[in-house]
Structure 1
């Protein structure tokens, strides 16, 4: 290759990468919006706000949480997929918004893989079986017997069609041969209130969304759908301890940005998020919710994300859950 040819290629390459480098150097140039695709008040919202507050003190701009609920998290997720990919808009998603919606919504309006770039995997919400206080079932065996005696009479709540709480219960019913009636809600807060009020019988809800109420005695926990007991809820036995296997279900959570976000900007955003979570006071706040931390950078989270999508797609098909 001639010297002139090499020089020309170098100039072209410089022209291509210069805008991305410039963007990274100037990022952030305005306040950052962190979308939470659920109502305010739930554990997802709480974790996002912990991270946003800490990021605001270190990244050079304020990070503002924007709750955009609706359509099982698809409304807010769709908005971020179509946002300007400059790093100033990102989302705190989960296995519902960035996985199951692809198979449970006829028109989610986005592709969970093609339209997003992972910023950081955070960990998982373990699921706890909680019931209204006056439900005549003190353990999982009694719950199964009650449900089998009158199929479809018991109702169970979830945070939306395709949510972790919905599919975790579908998996449990599939493994135990029982049938209950599904009642979806728009987020964890209204679901919890309906159980406390006695209008919903049971939920396989994320532990952070019900831990405070369990400790307060306003609802009862029967089991944890996880391989091991949670240090923050040591008195709750697992499903496995009560004779139910292959029904564990954790709902992962992660931060995502629009797919076309420049790599240097994505890296800066990722580092800021992970640094915020690593602060001891932020870590402690998140753990107090009952959330299990397992932080992954984008390279480590991507293959995990793809594997989770494949796993739950199979479970959805086996459970016969139809898109809505």
Structure 2
């Protein structure tokens, strides 16, 4: 190859890659918005704010949390999917926004896989089986026996049709062959109060939403739907310990950016978020919420995400839950 041709190719390559290099070097050039597709005040919002506060120091720009709630998280998620893909807007999503909404909403307005690139997997809110204190079942085996003795008599509460607490219980019933009657609520607070009041028999709720009541003794936990016990609730045995396999139902959470975000920018953002999550002070704040950290970089999170989507699509279909 002639010197002239090599020089020409070099100039072309430089022209192609220079914009990406410039974008990476100048990023971030303005404040960053972290969208939380739920109202302020919950554990999801709290985790996002812990990370945003740390990033504001480490990344050189303010990171502002923007709560955009609505439509099971679809409103905020849709806005990010179709927003600017320059690394200055990303989202703290979960198994609902970036998984189940694809099968539970007739038109979520985005594709959880095609429209997003993972930034960092964070971990999961584990689900705990909690029962009213006077329910004559102190173990999962006793609960199964009680349910089989009179199918449909026991009722279980959830935070809404298609919610994690609903689908987690559907998974459990499929694995154990039992039938219980579903009673949906608008959120965790009224559900918890109805269990305490003895009007709901059981729920498979995220641990942070019931941990305070478990510790106070106002309701009783009989199992954790997770591979391992939680260090904040060491006395709660797992389903696996009690002979029930393939019924774990963690509600995972992760950071995502629009799919078209330039790779160098995405890499910079990802490394910054992963570094924040790895800091002991940040990790301790998150763990106090009852959240289990399982930090994954984009390469590790991507196959996990795809497997989770496939698993819950099957559960939703078999449960007969129709898109709304």
Spell out the pairing of 1:109-148 with structure 2 (5 A cutoff): 109-133=109-133, 135=135, 137-148=137-148
Distance 2:287 2:297 in 1: 19
- SS of 1:247 mapped into structure 2: coil
Cα 1:280–1:171 shift into 2, 3 Å: same
Check conservation: 1:32, 1:62, Cα contact below 8 A.
yes
Q: After TM superposition, which residue ranges in structure 1, 4 or more long, deviate above 6 angstroms? A: none
Corresponding position of 2:65: 65
Stretch of structure 1 that moved more, 100-109 or 130-139: 130-139
Q: CA RMSD in A?
A: 2.4
Corresponding position of 2:259: 259
- SS of 1:57 mapped into structure 2: helix
Stretch of structure 1 that moved more, 312-321 or 269-278: 312-321
Stretch of structure 1 that moved more, 130-139 or 309-318: 130-139
Corresponding position of 2:24: 24
Shift of 1:150: 5.7
Corresponding position of 1:158: 158
Distance 2:188 2:87 in 1: 28
Stretch of structure 1 that moved more, 43-52 or 234-243: 234-243
Corresponding position of 1:203: 203
Corresponding position of 2:93: 93
Shift of 1:314: 2.3
Distance 2:35 2:144 in 1: 38
Cα 1:221–1:234 shift into 2, 3 Å: same
1:78 aligns with 2:110: no
1:212 aligns with 2:212: yes
Distance 2:27 2:174 in 1: 48
Shift of 1:119: 0.2
- SS of 1:221 mapped into structure 2: strand
Distance 2:163 2:296 in 1: 22
Q: TM-score, normalised by structure 1?
A: 0.89
Distance 2:42 2:114 in 1: 28
Shift of 1:148: 4.7
Corresponding position of 1:13: 13
Distance 1:34 1:195 in 2: 35
Cα 1:23–1:196 shift into 2, 3 Å: farther
Distance 1:24 1:193 in 2: 50
Distance 1:218 1:69 in 2: 30
Distance 1:15 1:189 in 2: 57
Shift of 1:151: 4.8
Distance 1:39 1:183 in 2: 23
Distance 1:109 1:26 in 2: 31
Cα 1:151–1:78 shift into 2, 3 Å: farther
Shift of 1:143: 3.7
Distance 2:215 2:75 in 1: 33
Corresponding position of 1:231: 231
Check conservation: 1:41, 1:189, Cα contact below 8 A.
no
- SS of 1:311 mapped into structure 2: helix
Query: Unpaired segments of 5 or more residues in structure 1?
Result: none
**Number of equivalences:** 324
Check conservation: 1:95, 1:163, Cα contact below 8 A.
no
Shift of 1:267: 0.9
Shift of 1:60: 1.1
- Alpha-carbon displacement from aligned partner over 1:197-250 (angstroms, at most 9, x marks no partner): 666543211212322232133432121112332221111122233343332222
Cα 1:145–1:185 shift into 2, 3 Å: same
Check conservation: 1:159, 1:184, Cα contact below 8 A.
yes
Shift of 1:107: 1.0
Check conservation: 1:42, 1:188, Cα contact below 8 A.
no
Corresponding position of 2:179: 179
